Structure 1
Amino acid sequence: MAVVLEDYEGHSVVDCGFPPYKDGAMVDYVKTTFGAEANSFCVKGYSSSGTGTSVCLSNGTWSQTDLVCTARSHSTWQRVAKTTASTTPILQRFKLNAQISAACKPKLRVKADFKLSTKVMDLHSNDVQSLWKIWGQSVRGLSKSSWDSFEIFPKREFELFLSDAQNTHLSVDDDGNARKNRYDGDFVWFVKDDQCVSTSSANDIGSVLTSLFEGEIDPNFDTYEVDDSNSTVYGQVTGHMSQDSQPSFTIPCYWFVKKQGTSGKVDIIRWSVAGGFLNAEPRSVTMPWCPDTCWHHAFDTRASSSNKHKHIRHLTNGVQHGHNIMVKVGNVIVKAREVVLHDGHVTVSIKEFWVPSDKNAFSSGSRQAWIMASTTGRDVQCIHVPESAVVEDVTEGGKPSIWFLDSRQWEKVFTIDGTGAVLSGSMSDLLNKVNEGRSLRVGVLHTNGMYKALEVDAVDVSSTGHIAGDIIHNVDLVLGPGNDFHFTDTCGVVSSIITTEGSYKTYRYNIGSAGKHSIVNDVAKIDWFIEM
């Protein structure tokens, strides 16, 4: 239906509203009334075909365009090896070994088939020991048995996979009490064939800064920080669980966090899971830089007011097509852990990072930090003592932020409503792609119109073929007065499990104290996206 407005002389004017957005395209326009033109063009990372000019028609709609934006690079997961308890083909082992040992290491994923369950999970760290022993450690999760029984203190769990088909499962509670179990299984090893990531490294600061300020992060690090003088870039890897040289998990357990700079300086900190600094170790090693070019500049909070809404709509459209966001807030650059679309703005929370007390090296005074940022220009940082609920500082500010959008190709494969009823797509298609090792994201539309996008860290496949996506350890955002998001008073964290049956469970907690389970009931639909 056409929207009819009145101009300043009282004449009726047809208004077409915002022009439609296409995946991979930005739309430029001045007016939205009858006769106005909107020009769509493909952004960095996409090739174009067709034309993108659209006109506001007298019936209040925009004319169709034949513009198609196609992602230039694809990042697929390639099956490299299958290891069983009996054997691993020698050529497969050599192929996996060669890729792990490369200067620009690819991401690894393992599909593990046990007697009672199947898991597909990213590996947080991996390496080769003595040529033959290839190992990888999964990211942190919450114990499935703890979720099913809704324990007050669910245990955190990790998997350590060895290429001779041995798996060590580590379960740790907040007091640092740990338990190890060994299993045999059949493991399929996937390596990310990422055409977006350079296969050769650079380490001069000029090249690194140029890449970083264009959103070309190195995927081998979790977070990045540029010093005040723009002379050094620090990459940080957070959340390793302790390993010895076998490799195997050690007990008692500790976190292993590495900060590496383009200056060649490396700092490693070990912090007890039960709380308390253990030690820090300085090293010196060349920092490779392997830029990921599949990001494009989408928004800058310093942009003119006339352009802001166009760029925010581009961000919103990208998130609804499965893409993730990366943001530079002050000196910190990192991918979003959670993206929330609400009230015409985008809010993100980013992965925790560790703040050295003297800015140069880890020490007993180092702290964990969370940041949330919004396209409104707000940012909030919370700093707390590691492995505790002690919050030392919460600072709200307006640091300039630059926003980047993923340029990879994502496909919405499956959509269900809050009861699990299928709205579109195919469950079997989703399951097939998960079993191929593909990356998975979910988008949840709530009944109040809020849309939340999350990256799935690990996948459990049930015996009936349903999928449970494990979303690990995000900062807990709450909607406050004025439709602004805030941290909870204690800067707590939240983990979630979302299933293809429509179940959405959350666990909100502070490290070292009891948490609260809840079932999210205000779900309108759940979108499941697969990276193509």
Structure 2
Amino acid sequence: MVINSSDRVQLLQVYESYQRLQSMEMKVYFQLIVLMTIVTEEVKSYQFGSTKVNKLSCDSKWLKVLEGDKNGKVVSGSKEDLRHAVVSGSKIRIILDELYSTDTQNVYSLNGEICAQALFHISKGGFDSHQTKAYWWFLNVCTTGNVHKSRWYVGVHRSLSESKVKYNIKWFARHLGCDSTLAKPVLCTTESGFPYCGNVNNLINVIRHGAEIHGVDARRSYAVEFTNLHYNKKKSFVSGTHLWHVSQTSVSNYIEFQKNVYWWFTIWSTDGSRDISRWSIGEHKDRGHTTDKLPMIWLADTCWSLAYEHDEHGESIDGSLDYLRSAILNGKRVRLHYHSGYLIEADELIIRNGHVTAQVLGHVSNSGKTFHSDAYWYWENVATTGAVETIRYNIGSHTSRGKTNYRQRIKWFIDTRPWKHVFSNSASGKSIHGSKTILIQEVKAGKMVRFTVKSASHPQSHHVSVLNADNIGINKDEKDVGAQHIRSIGYSKNGPFNVSFTSNPYWNFLIASTTGKIDEYKWTVGIHKTQGRKISKAAIDWFVS
């Protein structure tokens, strides 16, 4: 492939940006690659990152890379180390004032500081209970100590309030590789899509084997984990969709949300293009649709392995349903490959009478490279019986865009990172396995948490829900924790194995506590209207990784 003058200029510009971000070792490595490419005017499929899929357990740990006080002064660690982790695609978690832990959905570097959006929170009245009125509680957290909280009622475009506060913040990173080293790119492209490291086929290969993919805007030091991925092997093309971003603006050396917020959906493509669709939060109002070009770095977490594959009728092709089910009950995350080149992680996993249903909600209508002009959410229940149920609703409204039921051949991948079963409580809150103290210690160490909720009416695991803790609160006496999960749409039983969305769909916000308490709050999709609240007791298994 011959490099034209435009690509050569872009390559040098990207190099200059990337040079400011990486360690000296990476700078030298990157410089050699770029200079060799420009001199020879030929790309020879430079292989930065491994395309092998890890069959064995990955063992990279969560590391506290930075702790800062309320004024952004470094207590321990380094802002530069955190920045290196961000531009290498590492997962980032934060802890606020010792008692509140959460994932982040996107991370941005600005003038030597790092800011992250943490969006998965619904209003709480304590560590284990919801408030009466449900509202989104969006956080923009920066290494300056600044935290901007923007509150918007669920189902309507109405702001409750905002607050600008200062926090002591701990920042944790887990690298995408199998050890403690920073990940190397699988693919790097200029704005025109010219590949100056790796190649698209390598990227497709790791996606086909279940890999989780992260993207970095090399010029702006902006990093995301793609919500879903689409590839076309014949066309050597990949697109990654990122949905969890709320409109923001810079203020000096930190970032805040805009006043009149909107969702900022993006599709990144290996041709260098990025499609951007903006929709008001809480109403079906288009706030603009544009496309731009940017230099992209694609990085892969290949710590995933095929557990089970079946045909459209649920008949086994490869792997084992028993193995998949056992892995899920031991805390493993799950990614699904279906729709002939589509990969997404399950938001909730339900086991009924031996079969598994994955609820996958991270879809907005698109053509593979661009969003539809009148975009809608579509949500799916995908089962090991081969059944797939899809419902569609306008973004920000209760207007249905249709429902379908069909069958699919599906591959189920599990993550190969170790998940440790640290605690179990009975429905009454009695300890029946492990140590609650250790669970709290692991939360404070930045670990991810997953938990299983066993149905009180089916205590022998005939009906179990397995959920990710979107955020975790520790009560003030530090004797119990409450984990909130917000990415779930209510469902009902459908036959002996499957579940189906209800006719009047609702968000099922859930908080599970080590006391055995379960607080479920149901809010109609697209309307600020509750469908009831349920307080119950359940046996819960707690896992950390």
- Determine if the TM-score, normalized by the shorter chain, exceeds 0.5: yes
Quote the Cα distance in structure 2 between the aligned partners of 1:149 and 1:475: 19
- State the one-letter code of the partner of 2:116: G
2:130 equivalent to 1:168: no
Alpha carbons of structure 1 residues 488 and 152: separation in structure 2 relative to 1, 3 Å: farther
Are the equivalent residues in 1 in contact too, given 2:241–2:265 (CA < 8 A)?
yes
CA displacement at 1:208 relative to structure 2: 1.7
Quote the Cα distance in structure 2 between the aligned partners of 1:310 and 1:286: 39
Quote the Cα distance in structure 1 between the aligned partners of 2:483 and 2:327: 21
Counterpart position of 2:358: 348
2:226 equivalent to 1:221: yes
Q: Which among 98, 114, 123 is matched to residue 84 of structure 2?
A: 98
2:330 equivalent to 1:321: yes
Counterpart position of 2:124: 144
2:470 equivalent to 1:457: yes
CA displacement at 1:230 relative to structure 2: 5.2
CA displacement at 1:139 relative to structure 2: 2.4
Counterpart position of 1:32: none
- 1:349-428 pair list within 5 angstroms: 349-356=359-366, 358-428=367-437
Alpha carbons of structure 1 residues 431 and 343: separation in structure 2 relative to 1, 3 Å: same
Equivalent residue of 2:301, what SS? coil
Quote the Cα distance in structure 1 between the aligned partners of 2:103 and 2:419: 18
Counterpart position of 2:245: 240
Quote the Cα distance in structure 2 between the aligned partners of 1:288 and 1:97: 15
Larger Rg: 1
Quote the Cα distance in structure 1 between the aligned partners of 2:289 and 2:443: 39
Quote the Cα distance in structure 2 between the aligned partners of 1:150 and 1:187: 24
CA displacement at 1:483 relative to structure 2: 3.8
Counterpart position of 1:258: 266
Equivalent residue of 1:206, what SS? helix
- State the one-letter code of the partner of 1:389: H
Are the equivalent residues in 2 in contact too, given 1:255–1:273 (CA < 8 A)?
yes
CA displacement at 1:364 relative to structure 2: 3.4
Equivalent residue of 1:349, what SS? strand
CA displacement at 1:153 relative to structure 2: 4.0
Are the equivalent residues in 2 in contact too, given 1:280–1:363 (CA < 8 A)?
no
Are the equivalent residues in 1 in contact too, given 2:308–2:318 (CA < 8 A)?
no
Counterpart position of 2:278: 270
Equivalent residue of 2:206, what SS? helix
Counterpart position of 2:138: 158
CA displacement at 1:396 relative to structure 2: 0.6
Post-superposition Cα deviations, 1:68-125, rounded to whole Å, max 9, x if no partner, equal: xxx2x2132100111112422596122222322x2x32111111007xxx21111111
Quote the Cα distance in structure 1 between the aligned partners of 2:331 and 2:265: 30
Quote the Cα distance in structure 1 between the aligned partners of 2:236 and 2:426: 50
Alpha carbons of structure 1 residues 328 and 388: separation in structure 2 relative to 1, 3 Å: same
Post-superposition Cα deviations, 1:393-418, rounded to whole Å, max 9, x if no partner, equal: 11110122111111111110000011
Alpha carbons of structure 1 residues 490 and 228: separation in structure 2 relative to 1, 3 Å: farther
Are the equivalent residues in 2 in contact too, given 1:262–1:286 (CA < 8 A)?
no
Post-superposition Cα deviations, 1:322-358, rounded to whole Å, max 9, x if no partner, equal: 11111112143111111111112111011321112x5
- State the one-letter code of the partner of 1:244: T
Quote the Cα distance in structure 1 between the aligned partners of 2:80 and 2:331: 35
Alpha carbons of structure 1 residues 462 and 522: separation in structure 2 relative to 1, 3 Å: closer
- State the one-letter code of the partner of 2:468: E
CA displacement at 1:460 relative to structure 2: 0.8
**Percent of paired sites with the same residue:** 19
- State the one-letter code of the partner of 1:111: I
CA displacement at 1:474 relative to structure 2: 1.4
Are the equivalent residues in 1 in contact too, given 2:67–2:77 (CA < 8 A)?
no
Counterpart position of 2:518: 504
- State the one-letter code of the partner of 1:77: W
2:447 equivalent to 1:438: yes
Quote the Cα distance in structure 2 between the aligned partners of 1:164 and 1:290: 27
Post-superposition Cα deviations, 1:184-234, rounded to whole Å, max 9, x if no partner, equal: 221111111343384223253211221111112214211112359654221
RMSD (Å), alpha carbons: 2.4
Q: Which among 97, 111, 119 is matched to residue 113 of structure 1?
A: 97
- State the one-letter code of the partner of 2:276: I
Are the equivalent residues in 1 in contact too, given 2:309–2:316 (CA < 8 A)?
no
Are the equivalent residues in 2 in contact too, given 1:223–1:351 (CA < 8 A)?
no
CA displacement at 1:263 relative to structure 2: 2.1
Are the equivalent residues in 2 in contact too, given 1:327–1:401 (CA < 8 A)?
yes
- State the one-letter code of the partner of 1:429: I
Are the equivalent residues in 1 in contact too, given 2:206–2:300 (CA < 8 A)?
yes
Counterpart position of 2:530: 515
User: Which structure exhibits the higher relative contact order, with contacts defined as CA atoms closer than 8 Å and separated by 6 or more residues?
Assistant: 2
Quote the Cα distance in structure 1 between the aligned partners of 2:239 and 2:440: 38
2:301 equivalent to 1:292: yes
Quote the Cα distance in structure 2 between the aligned partners of 1:234 and 1:370: 19
2:502 equivalent to 1:488: yes
- State the one-letter code of the partner of 1:180: E
Q: How many residues align?
A: 456
Alpha carbons of structure 1 residues 390 and 75: separation in structure 2 relative to 1, 3 Å: farther
2:64 equivalent to 1:79: yes
Q: Which runs of 5+ in 1 are unaligned?
A: 1-43, 48-70
Are the equivalent residues in 1 in contact too, given 2:124–2:130 (CA < 8 A)?
no
Taking structure 1 as the reference length, the TM-score comes to 0.80
CA displacement at 1:288 relative to structure 2: 2.6
Taking structure 2 as the reference length, the TM-score comes to 0.79
Equivalent residue of 2:245, what SS? strand
Are the equivalent residues in 2 in contact too, given 1:152–1:515 (CA < 8 A)?
no
